[in-house]
Structure 1
Amino acid sequence: MVEMDFYIILMTVIGVLLLIKFMSRERKKVPPNPPGIPLLGNINTLRKETMLSTMRKLHKQYGDLFSINIINQHLIFVGGYKTTYELLVKKGDVLGDRPNFLTKQLLRNAGVFSTSGPLWKEHRTFCLTSLRSLGFNKGNLQTRIIEEIEYFLAEVENTHGQPFDIQDLVSKSIANVISALVFGKRFELSDPTSAELCLLLNAIFQSTVFHSPIFIFPFLKHLPGDLFGSKKLMKKVNRIFDIICKVLDEHRSTFDENNIRDFIDCYLKEQKKKNEAYKEHTFSDEQLLSTLVEFFSAGLETTSTAIKWGIVYLMHNQEIQKRMRKEIENTVASGRLPTLEDKPKLPYCQAVCYEVLRLGNVSPTTSPHALKHDVTLNGFVIPKEAFLFIDLDSINMDPKIFPDPFSFKPERFLSEDGKVTGTEKICAFSMGRRVCLGESVAKMELFLFMTSLIQRFEIHNEAGKPLPSLKGNFGLTYTPQSLAASYKKIF
């Protein structure tokens, strides 16, 4: 008994000494952080409900760089256009592997989004090359989008001006555009598989798990129970993998390498080629499945959320809605939908879409990056072991770049002679090597959906009800709280 007590005391002393050594190791001049709780640090600083306002206050207090210290793990936030450009573009080669964060594990450490290095480079290049080889250039992709818009508008018309929340319909429609890219087909808007997929993805992106300690300490998932909700979240993610896997298996059974229909066929053809030439390669079934899940999760959520914010801001700004419609009426022949060919003659509509991307703030921060080695930036050291977040909100809401940033002002992107200008400073898709893979597709979808909807319908809030809130819900993305509106058909 005495020996046991001595052993416990000895181990406690050793543990305390190791902790003191760990906490007193050489301190680098990292970006400043707000006061915190001893040992736990700033664990309560970034709460889901107040995260945006807190980040803005910290940038105002500390500048472009600040840190959040959670149990001695540095979370470094980089903001401001100049500083972000310096890091992601001029010093872009210092970005290393993705850190071991929760999302990486949810995506099974595969795909493109959560990987880095040679695997990331090889598969990102393959994705871009494959989509181009399928003929999904501006013209062919536009045909697919407009086809989906026609189904979308028909569903809106079927409401006969009665108020409804359009969010599910927007999500299903954008999911169908992605489905056309990867599966070579669309789902009926009433299809239960598509509905479940959209429901699961929306729930995942709004989960509180991503604002809890388990996001940066995923080993906490092994604790008994489900304190942070990660196990419940994992079930949803696994269900998405099951849905995509079933569609993939059905698709594989009809694969013909002489008749390439879509992205999956491109991948299966490349996989067959690699199997014949190499004993080991990265074109595995697991890599394909994770890539498909990424296509849907990233492509669906960001674009559909931007469209939803566009509707919210137009409900709040009826004069802007009318001006868009007038420009469309003066440019687009009656009876047909707007196209990309009309875009140069629709500068105000373009400006509205750019302002939606800026103020809609779909992704206020990026997922975490890691560094190959310590980096000096603005006189501070960003340690190699830190979690590095790019604060896109600090750029899009910078009053020095965008005066009166909290107001919806499309004219900020128009010159005196009515030309679109100043859009290069918007940072909705990040920048540098990790710029969003689907940026061009997202912008195309936003423009075509918004102009087509405004061409055909007047959008108003429900009679006697307040306008939808301009304050969103913060999960992995920033989304509107609700979107009940009536759509009055014009012609």
Structure 2
Amino acid sequence: MAFLQHEVYLLTVKSVIVGLIALFIATWFYRRPRNLPPGPTGWPLLGYLPNLILAGDEYKSLTRLAKTYGPVFSINLGGTLVVVVNSFASIKEALSHPNTAARPPTSFYKKITHDPDTLGVLTASGDSWSQQRKFSLTVLRGLGVGKSSFEVSVATEAGCLIEAIKEHGDNPFNPTHLISNAVSNVICSITLGQRFDYSDPKFQQLLKLLNRNFELLSGGGAYSCLPIMDYLSFTSIHKELQTNARLVVEFIKECIDEHRRNLDANNPKDFIDVFLRDISENDTKNVQSHITADNMLLTTFELFAAGTETTASTLRWALLYMMAYPEVQARVQRELDDAVGRDRLPNMADKPQLPYTEATILEVQRLASIGSLGLAHMFSKDTSLLGYDIPKGTMLFANLWAVSRDSSIWSDPDRFNPERFLDEAGFLKPREEHLPFSTGRRVCLGERLAKMELFIFFSHFLHQFTFKKPKDVQQLSFEANNGLALTPMPFETCAVPRK
């Protein structure tokens, strides 16, 4: 009798659980807005999140889903509705819409600054974002970023990097440390007004912390902005992310404090100086502004982090492809020798005479697809877009990697072929479908700087060296670390000086 009662009890509990799940699913479908893009249903409560995590390489998984559901589809990720756009046309239209310029709320910075609601220019939305972006662009232009006057700073750093590479002779070395330091020095000269020696132990530690965070934010950052992740703040990964970010922010805060002590408001030398001057002026005039000390701190951190890792990783991919395609490397070198000669280094004025060199950089960017999913956007209002009705608060992923491999745009898309960016006469042929800096209202803030850095560093590399695969390496790997950016696996190269 007791056994039967126990069985009945278990049956009742199971029935209640099944009933609750069925009720939840029915309620979810009932409440699900009409005219949403199609998409997979996934699991109760968690939606498609477990499928995406288990499959890995999220950008590839989302590309496969687009083959089933079309270039625009929707998925539930841990209770959050996400719309994914996968084609050039849908990405261009979606990211150009004024209602998609917002970022999803994030709690990542809450314990890093005095004001828990503070956000930098990359993570802010609304008036805070528009004011910080306008200010940042104005300051960067005022400091000469992207102009010929700033080229000297980039070329000087490239020269330091060339000399550091020469110290390795013909011996194999991992270029990660040197390239990261050089690229970071460019953004440091803009934001902090100084550069750091390649052997500076404190700065090397900071770069390692940044690199580690880019690795920890897996899936192109697709998960970091999901509200469900707030419940995982106790995990070792989340704690490490917070600790690493806090250490870098504390370093920047020390630099800001030093700037504050030595500020000459009439002669600002860098981004922080201008920021401090404007904060002081706003305080004096009692003007309410989003140009605040905490915002400045986080904006500087974001410029420092983004301005280092993405460009440095692209240059590492470039070296990897040059080792794998020596015929491309040789053709770039012939073009450099013909247009520039051997008596001086290339400069930005040479760019029009170096179409194949630039085409090679563009092809590296296309295949590397560093920002596979870009940064997540959010719909700030109920919006009719791409034939669908999308509710306020829905997140938006732009699958930039899918566009970089779209066979309807690029013939044989997995093949490394710089000629796809040249016309029949051999002149550079820019392609609007090429989206290494994303597109729309939140296109990359540092696009002009990154383009200058990539051209100067890459052309200097190949003007001075031939990069070869070490003799003991059987095969080069093009597998990517799928973190916040797609970065190459660690590798070594031999930089053979050219005569």
TM value normalised by structure 2: 0.90
Match of 2:50, SS?
coil
Cα distance in 1, alignment partners of residues 107 and 167 from structure 2: 42
How many angstroms does 1:21 deviate by? 4.2
The whole-number CA distance in structure 1 between the counterparts of 2:300 and 2:82 is: 29
Partner of 1:330: 338
| Distance (Å, rounded) in 2 between the aligned partners of 1:103 and 1:440 | 28
Q: Which of 404, 408, 421 in structure 2 is aligned with 1:400?
A: 408
Task: Please give the alpha-carbon distance, in whole angstroms, between the structure 2 residues aligned to 1:486 and 1:337.
Answer: 21
CA–CA separation in structure 2 for the residues paired with 1:485 and 1:318? 13
Is 1:346–2:346 an aligned residue pair?
Answer: no
**Conserved? CA contact 1:214–1:221, under 8 Å:** no
| Structure 2 residue aligned with 1:76 | 83
User: Of 79, 93, 102, which aligns to 2:98?
Assistant: 93
TM-fit CA distance, 1:209: 5.7
Task: Output the amino acid matched with 1:81.
Answer: F
* Contact kept in structure 2, 1:468 and 1:484, CA below 8 Å: no
1:36 is matched with 42
1:112 pairs with 2:121: yes
By how many angstroms is 1:220 displaced? 4.7
The SS at the match of 1:425 is coil
Using the alignment, how far apart are the partners of 1:374 and 1:279 within structure 2?
Answer: 32
Q: Is the 8 A contact 2:366 2:434 kept in 1?
A: yes
Change (3 A) 1:105 1:368: farther
* Residues 370 and 152 (structure 1), Cα distance of their counterparts in 2 relative to 1, 3 Å cut: same
Which residue in 2 is equivalent to 1:201?
210
Find the aligned partners of 1:398 and 1:269 in 2 and give their Cα distance: 47
Are positions 1:443 and 2:448 aligned together? no
After TM superposition, list the pairs within 5 Å mapping 1:15-414 onto structure 2: 21=27, 24-47=30-53, 49-89=56-96, 92-101=97-106, 109-208=118-217, 215-218=224-227, 220-221=229-230, 225-226=234-235, 229-278=237-286, 280-414=288-422
- In the alignment, is the contact (CA less than 8 A) between 1:315 and 1:467 conserved in 2? no
C-alpha contact (below 8 Å) 2:63/2:399 kept by paired residues: no
Q: Matched residues in 2 for 1:375 and 1:368: separation?
A: 17
Q: What is the CA–CA distance in structure 2 between the aligned matches of 1:13 and 1:420, rounded to whole Å?
A: 62
Give, in angstroms, the shift of residue 319 of structure 1. 0.1
Contact persistence 1:174–1:304 (CA under 8 A): yes
**Structure 1 residue 22: Cα displacement:** 5.1
Amino acid at match of 2:193: G
Given that residues 465 and 498 in structure 2 are in contact (C-alpha distance below 8 angstroms), is that contact kept between their aligned partners in structure 1? yes
Q: Which stretch has the larger CA shift, 12-21 or 200-209?
A: 12-21
- Per-residue CA distance 1:62-97 (angstroms, 9 max, x = gap): 2211222123321211121111122222xx212253
The letter of the residue matching 2:166 is E
- Are positions 1:476 and 2:488 aligned together? no
By how many angstroms is 1:180 displaced?
0.8
- What is the one-letter code of the residue matched to 2:327? E
- Cα distance in 1 for residues equivalent to 2:109 and 2:442: 15
CA contact (8 A) 1:102 1:217 kept: no
Q: Tell me whether 73-82 or 36-45 shows the greater mean CA deviation.
A: 36-45
Structure 1 counterpart of 2:332, one-letter code: M
**Alignment partners' CA distance in 2, 1:455 and 1:265:** 36
**Separation of aligned partners in 2, 1:366 and 1:105:** 23
SS in 1 for 2:76: strand
Closer, same or farther: CA 103–59 of 1 in aligned 2, 3 Å: farther
Query: Which amino acid in 2 is paired with 1:169?
Result: L
Taking the aligned partners of 1:212 and 1:295, their CA distance within structure 2 comes to 17
Q: Provide closer, same or farther for how the CA distance between residues 156 and 212 of structure 1 changes in structure 2, counting only shifts above 3 A.
A: closer
Q: Hey, what's the Cα distance between the residues in 1 that align with 2:138 and 2:253?
A: 23
Indicate conservation of the 8 Å contact 1:165/1:483, yes or no: yes
Q: Structure 1 pair 268/101, CA: closer, same or farther in 2 (3 Å)?
A: closer
Local SS of the residue matching 2:295? helix
- Matching residue's letter, 1:30: L
Shift of 1:100: 1.7
Q: Specify whether residues 434 and 472 from structure 1 end up closer, same or farther in structure 2 by C-alpha distance, changes over 3 A only.
A: same
Check the 8 A contact 2:369/2:486 in 1, yes or no. Answer: yes
* Cα distance in 2 for residues equivalent to 1:71 and 1:128: 36
Cα pair 2:369 2:401 within 8 Å, conserved: yes
Q: Tell me what 2:8 maps to.
A: none
Alpha-carbon distance in 1 for matches of 2:189, 2:393: 40
Residue 98 and residue 137 in structure 1: after superposition, are their counterparts in 2 closer, same or farther (change >3 A)?
Answer: closer
**Distance in 2 between the 1:212 and 1:269 partners?**
34
Residues 372 and 213 of structure 1: CA distance in aligned 2, closer, same or farther (over 3 Å): closer
The amino acid that maps onto 1:149 is A
Which letter maps to 2:404? Answer: N
1:388 alignment partner AA: L
Secondary structure in 1 aligned to 2:445?
A: coil
Deviation per residue, 1:377-415 (Å, 9 max, x gap): 333333322111111112221111111111110000111
Q: CA deviation at 1:328?
A: 0.4
In the alignment, is the contact (CA less than 8 A) between 2:480 and 2:487 conserved in 1? yes
| Cα shift readout 1:25-64 (whole Å, capped 9, x = no counterpart) | 2532222222422332112222373323212211222221
Aligned-residue Cα RMSD (Å) equals 2.5
Aligned length: 479
- Are 1:458 and 2:466 counterparts? yes
Contact 1:221 1:230 in 2 (8 A): no
Question: What is the CA–CA distance in structure 2 between the aligned matches of 1:103 and 1:37, rounded to whole Å?
Answer: 27
Q: Which runs of 5 or more residues in structure 2 are unaligned?
A: 1-12
CA distance in 2, matches of 1:414, 1:214: 38
CA gap 1:103/1:322 in 2 versus in 1, 3 angstroms: farther
Q: State TM-score, norm by structure 1.
A: 0.91
2: CA distance, partners of 1:349 / 1:224 = 46
Provide structure 1 residue ranges, at least 5 long, that are not aligned to the other structure. 1-8
Q: Distance in 2 between matches of 1:32 and 1:83?
A: 15
In 2, the alpha carbon distance for the partners of 1:267 and 1:62 equals: 47
Distance in structure 2 (CA, Å) of the matches to 1:425 and 1:212: 23
- In structure 2, relative to structure 1, the CA distance for the partners of 1:31 and 1:101 (3 Å cut) is farther
Return closer, same or farther for 1:38/1:161 CA change in 2, 3 Å cut-off.
same
